[in-house]
Amino acid sequence: MIKNMFRDFNKYEKIWLITFTSIIVMVTIYFSSKDTKWDSIGSIFMNWVASPVSALTGILTVVLCAKGNINNYLFGVINSILYGWIAWKTGYYGDWLLNWFYFVPTQFLILLCWKNNLRTDKVDIVIMRKLTGRQKLFVTVTGIAALIAFGFILYYVDHWFVTYMKRNATIYGTIEKAFGFALLGPMFDSSTEVLQIIAQILLIKRYAEQWPFWIATNVITIIMWVGVLIADPASIPWVLPTLVMWIAFLINSIYGAYVWYKKPV
């Protein structure tokens, strides 16, 4: 199955994959060559292994998800492990927890849930489906409630996160100063976790409605990593490939929505 996973890629998908792969490789070579601390194993691993491999496997994962290809889980496991490690080193501990303790195990749930729901004409491609109106309402209301609830939790434990976990130490305050609303930062932060959890559940269940959640997640996460670059310009060797990955995720999410909404079986 793995060796044949690219056989159904159309011209657009091949160009898209080659383009972003090339960008990640070039960015890695250019910035990592200049900024790697060659006497530090951690610096070498972050700049030359974790960041580019995470980005490349992440792109492969989302491309295969957009096509409904069951082989996405394998690259998803690699991406979740490496991206989680990057999030840990950067200070986004929520993303670390989400990737290591949610995305890694749910990759195998994708395999288990999809393998018995594959198309007969294309053995690697899953049967896609849509939510009913009542299911859409339930997902929307539940998602909003979870986002708000977790946002309040982050707001009230903000001191603990900042002091002990060093999570978003300046982001909440910066957002509050800019908009004059103390809860906006925690709600913004909460959305990155809640949206991904909901989207992954819908992905496992093969629903096309996953894609609006991925699109929203990608937009928010791009803003988050731009914030890291602004706060710490020295992070560019490993953050820039990650940022390119999330931009690729956003473009792919729009394409995935087109494919899944147009071609549910």
For 104-149, write each residue's pLDDT tens digit. 999 999 999 999 898 888 778 899 999 999 999 999 999 999 989 9
Tens of pLDDT along 211-263? 999 999 999 889 878 877 887 788 888 888 989 999 999 999 999 999 999 86
The residues that bridge with 125 in the sheet, in sequence order, are 69
Q: Please report the pLDDT score of residue 91 as a whole number.
A: 67
Q: Where are the alpha helices (DSSP H) in the chain?
A: 11-35, 41-45, 51-67, 72-90, 93-98, 104-114, 133-156, 158-160, 171-179, 184-204, 210-231, 236-262
166, pLDDT greater than 70: no
C-alpha to C-alpha distance for 87 and 179, rounded to whole angstroms: 26
Q: What is the mean pLDDT of the chain?
A: 85
Backbone angles phi, psi at 97, to 5 degrees: -60, -45
pLDDT of residue 228: 72
Summarize pLDDT for 154-165 with one digit per residue, the tens: 777 765 655 554
Looking at the chain, the whole-number percentage of residues with pLDDT higher than 90 is: 50
First to last CA, the chain: 21
Residue 80 has pLDDT above 70, yes or no: yes
Domain layout of the chain by residue ranges: 2-262
Using the structure block, give the residue that is written with the tokens 């990955």.
245
Cβ atoms of residues 20 and 241 within 8 Å: no
Who wins on pLDDT, 172 or 223? 223
Total residues found in the chain within this entry: 265
Are the beta carbons of 263 and 128 closer than 8 angstroms?
yes
